[in-house]
Structure 1
Amino acid sequence: MRGGNPFRPSFGTSPRVVAGRADLLDEFDIALDEGPGSPMRSILLSGARGMGKTVLLNELEERARVRGWHVLRLPEGPGLMSELERTVLPARLTEHDPTSQRRRITGGSISAVGSVSTDTSEAYPTTPSVATMLQRLAEIARSHGTGVLLTLDEVQAAPIEDVARLASAYQHLLRDESEIAFVGAGLPTGIAALLGQQGSTFLRRAERVDLAPLRREEVLDAAVRTVREAGRVISAEAGERLADVVHGYPYLLQLVGYQAWRAAGDDEVITLADVEATLPVVVDRMSRLVHTPALRQVPQGQLDYLRAMAQDDGPSSTGEVAARLGVSKQHGNVVRGRLIDRELIVPAGHGLVDMALPYLREHLRRG
Structure 2
Amino acid sequence: MATGNPFRPSFGVSPRVLAGREDLLQDFDVALDEGPGSPLRSLLVSGARGMGKTVVLNELEDIARTRGWLVLRLPEGDRMLEELESSTVPALLAEHDVAAVRRRLTGGGLGPVGSVSTSVEDRYPVRHSLTRLLARLSDVLAVHETGMLFTLDEVQAATPDLVGEFAAIYQHLVRDDREVAFAAAGLPTGIDALLRQAGTTFLRRAERVHLRALADDEVAAAARATVEDTGRTVGDAALERFVDIVHGYPYLLQLVGYHAWRVDPARTEVTLDDVGSTLPVVVERMGRLVHAPALAGVPERQRGYLRAMAVDDGPAATREVARRMGVTMSEQNVYRARLIDRELVVAAGHGYVDFALPYLREHLRARTR
Q: Taking structure 2 as the reference length, what is the TM-score of the superposition?
A: 0.97
Cα deviation code 1:130-175 (max 9, x no counterpart): 1111111111111101111011101122212211221121111101
SS in 2 for 1:77: coil
Cross-structure match for 1:283:
283
**Are the aligned partners of 1:160 and 1:200 in contact in 2 as well (CA < 8 Å)?**
no
Cα deviation code 1:165-194 (max 9, x no counterpart): 211211111011000000000011121122
Cross-structure match for 2:223:
223
Cross-structure match for 1:47:
47
C-alpha distance in 2, partners of 1:264/1:339?
Answer: 41
C-alpha distance in 1, partners of 2:122/2:319?
Answer: 75
> Mean alpha-carbon deviation: is it higher for 132-141 or for 342-351?
132-141
Q: How much does 1:98 deviate?
A: 0.8
C-alpha distance in 2, partners of 1:43/1:73?
Answer: 14
Amino acid at match of 2:182: F
Cross-structure match for 1:360:
360
Unaligned runs of 5+ in 2: none
Cα deviation code 1:65-95 (max 9, x no counterpart): 1110011111123232122122211221111
Q: How does 1:130-149 map to 2 (within 5 A)?
A: 130-149=130-149
Q: How does 1:325-340 map to 2 (within 5 A)?
A: 325-340=325-340
Amino acid at match of 2:118: T
C-alpha distance in 1, partners of 2:129/2:165?
Answer: 10
Amino acid at match of 1:278: T
Cα deviation code 1:102-132 (max 9, x no counterpart): 2222223445654433221222112222111
> Mean alpha-carbon deviation: is it higher for 89-98 or for 35-44?
89-98
**Are the aligned partners of 2:3 and 2:265 in contact in 1 as well (CA < 8 Å)?**
no
Cross-structure match for 2:70:
70
SS in 2 for 1:68: coil
Q: Taking structure 1 as the reference length, what is the TM-score of the superposition?
A: 0.97
Amino acid at match of 1:86: S
Q: How much does 1:283 deviate?
A: 0.1
C-alpha distance in 2, partners of 1:326/1:163?
Answer: 43
> Mean alpha-carbon deviation: is it higher for 63-72 or for 195-204?
195-204
Q: How much does 1:3 deviate?
A: 3.1
- Count how many residue pairs are aligned between Structure 1 and Structure 2: 367
User: Is residue 2:193 matched to residue 1:193?
Assistant: yes
C-alpha distance in 2, partners of 1:171/1:14?
Answer: 30
Cα deviation code 1:238-272 (max 9, x no counterpart): 00110111011000000000011012442111111
Cross-structure match for 1:103:
103
**Are the aligned partners of 2:150 and 2:181 in contact in 1 as well (CA < 8 Å)?**
yes
Q: How does 1:156-167 map to 2 (within 5 A)?
A: 156-167=156-167
> Mean alpha-carbon deviation: is it higher for 73-82 or for 60-69?
73-82
SS in 2 for 1:78: coil
SS in 1 for 2:151: strand
C-alpha distance in 1, partners of 2:194/2:342?
Answer: 14
SS in 1 for 2:286: helix
SS in 2 for 1:95: helix
SS in 2 for 1:193: helix
**Are the aligned partners of 1:76 and 1:155 in contact in 2 as well (CA < 8 Å)?**
no
Cα deviation code 1:325-359 (max 9, x no counterpart): 00000001001000001010001100111000000
C-alpha distance in 1, partners of 2:176/2:156?
Answer: 28
User: Is residue 2:7 matched to residue 1:7?
Assistant: yes
SS in 1 for 2:100: coil
Amino acid at match of 1:254: Q
Cross-structure match for 2:16:
16
Q: How much does 1:322 deviate?
A: 0.3
Cross-structure match for 2:28:
28
> Mean alpha-carbon deviation: is it higher for 151-160 or for 238-247?
151-160
User: Is residue 2:293 matched to residue 1:293?
Assistant: yes
**Are the aligned partners of 1:264 and 1:271 in contact in 2 as well (CA < 8 Å)?**
no
Cross-structure match for 1:88:
88
C-alpha distance in 2, partners of 1:162/1:109?
Answer: 50
**Are the aligned partners of 1:5 and 1:261 in contact in 2 as well (CA < 8 Å)?**
yes
C-alpha distance in 2, partners of 1:106/1:266?
Answer: 66
Amino acid at match of 1:279: L
C-alpha distance in 1, partners of 2:342/2:95?
Answer: 44
Cross-structure match for 2:241:
241
Unaligned runs of 5+ in 1: none
SS in 2 for 1:237: helix
